[in-house]
Structure 1
Amino acid sequence: MGKRSSRSRRREPIRRPIPPARLSASADRVTDLTGQHLVDGWPVSEQVRVRLAGSADMAAVRRLTALAGVHLEDQVVDGVDAGDGGAALRAGLDGGPDTFMRHMAERFAGPQGMDPRRLLPPVTLVLVAEHDQHGVIGAVLAYPPNGVIQQLVEHQRRAGASGQQLFQLVMAGVMWMVRIKAIAVDESMRGRGIGSALLYRCQQVYAHCGYRVVYGQMADTSALERFYRSHGFDVLPRDSGFDPWVVLGVHAEIRPDPGERTFVRHQKAGANRRPGRVPAPRRSNTQFDPGTLALHDDHLPALLTQGSGEFLAIQFLPMLWIKMAEGQRANACIDACAQLRHAYQQFGIHAEIMPVGVVIHHPDGSRTQYATDEPRWHGETTLVGHTILLLPEHDKLVDPTIEQVPEIRALRQGPVIGRLAEQNRHALHDGRTSFAVQRADLLIEYQPVQPEHRDRLLRGPLLARNDAQYRRAAVNLAAMALRAFRDAGAADRIRQSTAFPRLTALLDAIGDAPIDVDEATSDVLIHLPGGPVRLDQVPTPAAEAGPPAKSTQSPTGRTTSQQ
C-alpha cells in the first residue's frame, strides 16, 4: 500500500546542507512566508532563488524529476497551466491554516467533492530553483498521496464505512498528509545547498498550512540517510513503513518500493519520538477537571424539528440524559451507559456497555491518554476507566460523557455518536484494534480493552446492585423522550422508518394520552384509559422490553467514575 509504480530509485544530488540554524526556524516566526513570497521566490544565493513553478517551467521540471526516477503526471502540469497549482497553499500562507481549510472546504463542497482531479491541484507544490544565467536548475514535487487515499477508501467502503466516514478519510488525507514525490538538482549545480533549500521551503509551506505528516521514499544510501536526517526526518529501516492512523483515523502501513527506505516527519512532534512511530501518549494529570454535564441549548430542539427517524431513535436519548443530569459532574460514564442501555431497550434497541481507553490526538502530533485501556474498580463505587455503548444491530457507537475531556468539552459538540461497522465492532470488542472519531482538529481514539479487563468491569458489584435503579430511571427517561417526540410532531418521522418497530408500537399505543411525573414516586406516568402506568407497563403488540422495575429512582440517579 502506498507504493510507487516505478521501480526506479531516486538519486539525491545534495552533498552539502544549508546551515542547521536556518533549517530550524519555525514557520510562525518567519516574516518572508507569504503567498507573494512563494510566487516571487526566496534567495538561496546571489544568483539562485527558490520559487513556485509556472507553466514555462514545466519542461525543465519534467527533465529534473526524471533524474529522480519519477514521471511527472499530466494532472500536475494541467494544474500549473490552469493557475490552480498550489492555490490553497498560497491562501494558507497569507491567512494561516484556517484560511487554507476554508479554501479547501469549497473544493470538498458539491457532488465532485471527492474527485482527486478537483482536490489535488490546489495542494500540489512544485518549487523550482532558478539560476540567473542557467535558468531552472532544481525542482521539488510534493502532493498528498492520492494512491494511498484511494486504496484506503476502497478498503473502508468494503468494510461498510458510511459516506461521511469516507468523506472524512479523504479530507484528512488531502489536508494533513503530503508526500515528497521527487527532488532533484542539475549535476553541475550540486553541492551548493540548492536541494536543501528546496526541501526546507517545501516543508515550511506545508507546515504553515497545518499539514501533520511529510514523507517520501529514497534509495538505501548513507548519504541520503544523512541528508534527510539533517532536515528532521526519521529514516526507517529498509522496506519498512509507517502507520498513518494518527492522521487518517484508520490503520494501514505505507511502505516504500522494495529495497528502498521511507523518510517521514511528523510536524512539531516531540523530540523523544522513536523513528517512524507515533509518540507515546502522555497521561493526563489524574486531577484534570471533568467539568459538569451540559447540553448545548440548540441541540435538542434542532434534533426534534429536523432529525430523521433514525437520528431521533438513536441520538435523542443520550442528549436528553445529559439535559436531565445538567450541572452534575461529567465523570459519570458508567451511570450514563447503564441507564441508557435500559432506555434503548425500552425502544427495542439492543445496547451493550463497552469499557475503552481514550486517547486524544492533537494537531501537533502529540497525544494525551485520559482513560486507561486496563480499567478497574476502585472500591465498589468508582470506576477507573471509561465506558461507551455499542448498538450492534444499528452499527453505532455512543459515548454520552466524552465532554468530560477538556479539549472535547471546549468544542461544544455534545456526545459522540458514530458509525461502527460490524467488522470494526468485533475487533474493538475482542481487544484487537482501535476506533477513531474526528472532532474538529482533534482525533478521539477509543482503545480496545482486553476481555479479562472487560469481564472484570462488567461483573463489578455496582452494576448488579444498582441495576433495578438504573432500569427505573431509564424507563422514566424513555417516557419523557416519547412525550417530546409526540409534542414536537416528530413521531411521524419515526414511523417512516422500519428499523424501530417497538418504538413505533409505543407511540401508537400511547397516542394522545397525558404524560406527567408523579410527585410521590418520581415516576413518569402515562394516563391510559385503564389508568396510569409506567412505560414498561404499556401493552403493545411488539415484544416486551423486559420485566417491570421494582424500585424507585429519579431519572438521573448516578455514581462516580474516575478516569
Structure 2
Amino acid sequence: MVESRQQRRARERAEAKSARRTAGVAGLHEQDLVQGWPLSEDTTIRLAAPDDIEKVAELVQLAGVSLEDALVDALRTDEGIAAALRTGLRSGHQALLADVATASTQVANDPRRLYLRSALPLVADRRGEIVGTLVSYPPTNVVHRYYTHAAAYGPREQQKVFLLGAVGLAKIKAVAVADTARGAGLGSALLRRCVQVYRACRFTLVYGQIPADRDLKAFYTKLGFEVADTEDPLDLWPIFGYPGGIFADQGERLFARWL
C-alpha cells in the first residue's frame, strides 16, 4: 500500500515524538542545552554561544590550556558546534548517527570539521556574565593513531574508525571557573552536565587529564570518574576494537568515565 502524504507526515511526527522520549530519558533535551539548565536562582549552564567565545578563551587559560583555532572559528561563526549532539537530544541516537554519517561525506575525512559536531562547549552564565566553562570534543590525535593502524585493513575499516571517533568518545579539554565564582560547585555542575549530555547521546567514554601533583582524585571520583595512576594507560578497545591505549602526558594522570 502506497503511503499518502498525510500518513507519511503522521508517521514522521510519531517517530520524532518517540525519538524525543528516548532522547529525554535522562531528562535532557536540545532546548535545555541551548537555553540552559538552572543551577541556582541566578545561574544557568548552557551551550556556549558566539558572543561567549572571548570569555571562554580567557577562562580556559586558568586550566593551563588554549582553544584550538578550529574550535574558536566554529564557535565564533556558530558553524556546526554540537550539531550532532543537538540532533541526538532532539531526535534520538539513530538521528545522531545519521547526522555524523551525512556530515562525514562532506568533510573529506577531516576529523576536526566532523568532530566539532560532537564538541560540547558549556558555560556557566550568572546573570549574563560567563563565570565558568567546560570544553570537550572527540580527540583527533587519538583517533588518528587508530585510523593509521586500521590502514592495514583497508579504507572501509578506516572509515569505521573515523566515524567511531565522532560518536564514541570525548575528551574534556578544560574545566575552569572564575576566581570570583569558586566555591559554588560550578566545576562539579559543568562536569555532571557534560557526562549527562554524552550519555544521553549514547557515547561510550568521557575522559581527560589532570596534573599528577594536584590532589584532585577525590573530586573526580566523587563525580563517578576513575582516576588512573600516572603510568596507567586508558584502553580504548571497547570503542575501536584494536589493542593499545593512550597514556597521559608527562606530569599528568588520566581520569575517565565509561558511560
Q: TM-score range by the shorter chain?
A: 0.7 to 0.9
Counterpart selection for 1:246 from 238, 251, 257: 238
Give runs of aligned pairs for residues 191-210 of structure 1, distance below 5 A: 191-210=183-202
Q: TM-score, normalised by structure 1?
A: 0.41
Query: Which residue of the partner structure matches residue 93 of structure 1?
Result: 89
Query: 2:209 touches 2:253 (CA, 8 Å); kept in 1?
Result: yes
Matched, 1:173 2:173: no
Query: 2:24 touches 2:200 (CA, 8 Å); kept in 1?
Result: yes
Query: Which residue of the partner structure matches residue 68 of structure 1?
Result: 63
C-alpha separation between the residues in 1 aligned to 2:77 and 2:117?
11
What SS class does the counterpart of residue 246 from structure 2 fall into? Answer: coil
What SS class does the counterpart of residue 216 from structure 2 fall into? Answer: helix
Q: TM-score, normalised by structure 2?
A: 0.87
Query: 1:64 touches 1:184 (CA, 8 Å); kept in 2?
Result: yes
What SS class does the counterpart of residue 34 from structure 2 fall into? Answer: helix
Q: State the 1:81 CA deviation.
A: 2.5
Larger C-alpha radius of gyration, 1 or 2?
1
Q: Which amino acid aligns with 2:254?
A: T
C-alpha separation between the residues in 2 aligned to 1:124 and 1:29?
21
C-alpha separation between the residues in 1 aligned to 2:112 and 2:138?
12
Q: Which amino acid aligns with 1:107?
A: A
C-alpha separation between the residues in 2 aligned to 1:164 and 1:138?
41
Q: Which amino acid aligns with 1:37?
A: D
- Spell out, residue by residue over 1:423-469, the C-alpha distance to the aligned partner (whole angstroms, 9 max, x if none): xxxxxxxxxxxxxxxxxxxxxxxxxxxxxxxxxxxxxxxxxxxxxxx
Matched, 1:104 2:84: no
Counterpart selection for 2:133 from 117, 129, 139: 139
Q: Which amino acid aligns with 2:190?
A: L
Gaps of 5+ in 1: 1-26, 268-563
Q: State the 1:222 CA deviation.
A: 6.2
C-alpha separation between the residues in 2 aligned to 1:177 and 1:262?
14
Q: Which amino acid aligns with 1:247?
A: I
What SS class does the counterpart of residue 164 from structure 1 fall into? Answer: helix
Q: State the 1:221 CA deviation.
A: 4.9
Distance change >3 Å, CA 70–CA 45, structure 1 → 2: same
**Bigger fraction of residues in helix:** 2
Query: Which residue of the partner structure matches residue 7 of structure 2?
Result: none
Query: Which residue of the partner structure matches residue 215 of structure 1?
Result: 207
C-alpha separation between the residues in 2 aligned to 1:121 and 1:228?
25
What SS class does the counterpart of residue 101 from structure 1 fall into? Answer: helix
Give runs of aligned pairs for residues 14-413 of structure 1, distance below 5 A: 29-31=25-27, 33-83=28-78, 84-109=80-105, 112-132=107-127, 135-157=129-151, 160-221=152-213, 223-267=215-259
Give the fraction of aligned pairs with identical amino acids, expressed as a percent: 37
Distance change >3 Å, CA 208–CA 121, structure 1 → 2: same
Q: Which amino acid aligns with 1:209?
A: C
Gaps of 5+ in 2: 1-22
Q: State the 1:208 CA deviation.
A: 0.8
Q: Which amino acid aligns with 1:179?
A: K
Query: 2:25 touches 2:200 (CA, 8 Å); kept in 1?
Result: no
Q: State the 1:220 CA deviation.
A: 2.1
Tell me which of the two structures has the higher relative contact order, counting C-alpha pairs closer than 8 angstroms and 6 or more residues apart: 2
What SS class does the counterpart of residue 103 from structure 1 fall into? Answer: helix
Q: Which stretches of structure 1, 4 residues or more, deviate above 4 A after TM superposition?
A: none
C-alpha separation between the residues in 2 aligned to 1:117 and 1:187?
32
Q: How many residue pairs are counted as aligned between the two chains?
A: 236
C-alpha separation between the residues in 2 aligned to 1:148 and 1:93?
26
C-alpha separation between the residues in 2 aligned to 1:221 and 1:227?
14
C-alpha separation between the residues in 2 aligned to 1:71 and 1:181?
9
C-alpha separation between the residues in 1 aligned to 2:110 and 2:190?
29
C-alpha separation between the residues in 2 aligned to 1:129 and 1:238?
30
What SS class does the counterpart of residue 130 from structure 1 fall into? Answer: strand
